[in-house]
Structure 1
Amino acid sequence: MSDGPDELWKRLKAYEGQAAAVACVGKDPVNAPMIRHWCEAMGDANPAYEGPDAVAPATMLQAWTMGGLSGHEGRTAAFDELMTLLDEAGCTSVVATDSEQEYLRPLRPGDEVTFDTVIESVSERKTTKLGTGYFVTTRMDVRVGEDLAGTHRFRILKYAPSRGKQKARRARRPRPVVNRDNAGFWEGVARHRLLIQRCTDCRTLRHPWLPGCNSCGCPEWDTVEASGAGTVYSYVVMHHPPFPAFTESDHAADAAGPYAVGLIELAEGVRMVSNVVGVPYDKVRIGLPVRVEFRTHEDEEGALVLPVFRVTEGEA
């Protein structure tokens, strides 16, 4: 890095509180067709998203602020300047680390969305397994008129990749993001149990896990254990350069790529995404019967258990 760490951090901190975008206007008003496309993609049939009193799914908050290829008027130079400063300091790589949304007002068809974005914080220099760099957090405030509809925080790590000689070790496999809403699912997976959330009011099953029922809105829930049987509802074939965490895996034959990622419809009626294994990727077909299989991956951080779906014997 060109500057000493303390001096560079002082320069980076000067950007905290600066606007990255001011009074930007959404490309389109909140509208029923986009809500319909979103709900179809998510498999969400909540009646609250249809009809004359429809609201938009809260998780669409960022969708109404997307700038597309042409971007938005109202962007300032502050964020680009900050990124350039980090690039010049050797932090040329970037990875998104997490995002948070808070919903304060429902959005309805016809609402015109405006938003401002501020550079909320820049962390001290951090050393991670990816390299050394800085966490940058931006906050977007989304409004309809004078009303604050929601906020969206987005955090990235801008870092200089690790380069020095390192001792030989098995590459770290990426971990799933575990939060307060889905922790129970991953705790079940660790015990080789595939748990589905169930609303305690209307008894609707749901996946992925959510803080409340998307059919009746009830926040109370329990779980049922899935049988593990299912069928391939849809799938894609992934092609990417070799990644050591997968090619050095105990199950490298299924994970080195290309490989099939399936949308699996479980016997209980919900759908989930995971790898389809047990047949070559070009033999995967819609309707193929599968059954869950729990795989344990070992690396320097310990054991990681993941559910995959194996084609039922005799169907390969």
Structure 2
Amino acid sequence: MTERETMTERETMTDEELHELAVKQTALGEVRGVPAADPVNVPMIRHWLTAMGDANPVYLERGLAPPAMAQVWTMPGLARREKDRSPVDDMLAALDDNGYTGVVATNCEQTYRRYLRVGERLTSATRFSGLAGPKRTALGVGYFATWHITWYTEDDEPVADMLFRILKFRPAKKESLPPYPLQPAINQDTAFFWEGAERGELRIQCCADCGELRHPPGPLCPHCRSAERTYTLATGTGTLFSYVVHHHPPVPGRETPFVVGVVELPEGVRIVGNVVDCPIEEVEIGMPLRVTYRAMDDRLVLPMWRPE
């Protein structure tokens, strides 16, 4: 039975057992992986340069790889094999099993010894170097796990090193909000807008043929009558075109008074939303605003507007 299978059956470990596992994984020292599936190659270098916006011609002219690509050459991808496992994997799996499923990178320090050349094939070697915790952080209680990776050529020459540290934490339990009584009517014309709000995006419907923007969303373009539609992302800024202060009657789920405004976007459309984070007496037409997103319940996020 493997260490991983044992932990899965047991499900949880004490803090002391987690530290014992960390000591065991550290004692393994540097564990070599398998050689990279592909050698350093021009197509991948070209993709990297394009993605990073790096126009330095020296890499392709001299057959060199950007130093920061060291990790790229040995990434196993989705088809990860058992022989690709490192001393870090069992440690992280144990933390997951104990509820420390949240992860955030805290440190990444890389050292480059020389440029890699096209045709070289790398092998990574991983050394688990420490587990600190449990510690209470702003994200929750968790452990800091640290490891080192060194990349070697086929001639056993070390060419790059990396120290990597992450925080594995127990995510705080999300308290369920009571259902918000004023739910929008969501249909095939408007679903894209509400999906965007959940992601913190202000989406404006756009005609896929003539490019005309429109809000509220609709099935047909009022400019060219096309039924083909897509959307664009607004910058999230605007100015207050007009507004009302609602005092009465009472609105379910809201405290009165509150401000409902028509916001004019630089993209050329207007959108209705609440103006928040501003005393009512300071609200005025023409004031610059920026979108903010408020969760009304576990399903609905509303875009609202606050002073810029």
Report the TM-score, using the length of structure 1 for normalisation. 0.50
| CA deviations over 1:77-128 (Å, ceiling 9, x no partner) | 6433222322333323222333221101210111111111121221132111
8 Å Cα contact 2:87-2:127 kept in structure 1: no
Matches within 5 A, 1:207-246: 242=198
| CA deviations over 1:21-45 (Å, ceiling 9, x no partner) | 5232112100111111111222212
Q: Please tell me whether Structure 1 or Structure 2 has the larger radius of gyration of its CA atoms.
A: 2
Name the residue aligned to 2:42.
32
Matches within 5 A, 1:1-316: 5-6=15-16, 8-18=18-28, 21-51=31-61, 53-72=62-81, 74-76=83-85, 78-144=87-153, 145-163=155-173, 242=198, 256-258=200-202, 276-278=235-237
Instruction: Provide the alpha-carbon RMSD of the alignment.
Output: 3.9
Cα 1:154–1:108 change in 2 (3 A) is same
Q: What CA distance in whole angstroms lies between the structure 2 residues aligned with 1:20 and 1:276? A: 48
8 Å Cα contact 2:196-2:203 kept in structure 1: no
Name the residue aligned to 2:242.
none
- Structure 1: gaps spanning 5 or more residues: 166-236, 244-255, 261-274, 285-292, 298-316
Shift in Å, 1:14: 3.0
Q: What CA distance in whole angstroms lies between the structure 1 residues aligned with 2:132 and 2:159? A: 27
| CA deviations over 1:181-238 (Å, ceiling 9, x no partner) | xxxxxxxxxxxxxxxxxxxxxxxxxxxxxxxxxxxxxxxxxxxxxxxxxxxxxxxx9x
Cα 1:155–1:242 change in 2 (3 A) is farther
Shift in Å, 1:63: 1.0
Cα 1:62–1:11 change in 2 (3 A) is closer
| Matched residue type, 1:82 | M
Cα 1:32–1:14 change in 2 (3 A) is same
8 Å Cα contact 1:21-1:74 kept in structure 2: no
Report the TM-score, using the length of structure 2 for normalisation. 0.51
Q: What CA distance in whole angstroms lies between the structure 2 residues aligned with 1:102 and 1:240? A: 40
8 Å Cα contact 1:20-1:76 kept in structure 2: no
- Structure 2: gaps spanning 5 or more residues: 1-10, 176-192, 205-233, 239-263, 269-287, 293-308
What SS does structure 1 have at the residue aligned with 2:77?
Answer: coil
